[in-house]
Amino acid sequence: MEEKHFEEWFNLKEKLHFNAKAPRISEGEIWWCSFGENVGVEINGKSARFTRPVLIMRKLSKFGFMGIPLTSQEKTGSWYAKFVFLNKNEYAAVCQARVMSVSRLHSKIGQIPKSDLEIVKKAFHELYK
């Protein structure tokens, strides 16, 4: 069984919750995001900050967004949408989409073209129709 680091995550989560900075976000941006140490099949972050890249699929307010975690590990099937970012294949885990606070965001990595955002949105709508 995989080792979990819940205590470390809870300590960081508390700091994130009280973080007063709210970065400005736009749809189609990719950010480093603290996903945390999660349960079962839920996607986890890595490193001491429990981060992984997230695609801002929909801005809901200046404090929240619908995000889709990304992985560079090759994935197939209707649960994933493939696109190229910074000359590497990326896979948006549309099955793991969720609403998140901007307090989880650390630094902007870049922006994908509208055409790639539409690929991801189409995959999301196909999975959840």
Write the pLDDT tens digit of every residue in 21-56: 889 999 999 999 998 877 667 687 888 888 999 999
Place of tokens 């919750």: 17
Kindly report the pTM of this predicted structure: 0.90
Report the length, in residues, of the chain.
Answer: 129
Contact 107, 99 (CB under 8 A): no
**Residues with Cβ < 8 Å from 72, sequence gap 6 or more?**
88, 89, 90, 91
Please give the structure tokens belonging to residue 115.
Answer: 């055409």
Q: What is the mean pLDDT of residues 87-112?
A: 96
Whether 96 has a pLDDT exceeding 90, the answer reads yes
Q: What average pLDDT is seen over the chain?
A: 91
Q: What is the mean pLDDT of residues 97-117?
A: 96
| Per-residue pLDDT tens digits for 68-92 | 999 999 999 999 999 999 999 999 9
pLDDT value of residue 87: 95
pLDDT value of residue 100: 95
> Domain 6-127 is of which CATH architecture?
Roll (2.30)
Give residue 15's identity as a one-letter amino acid code.
K
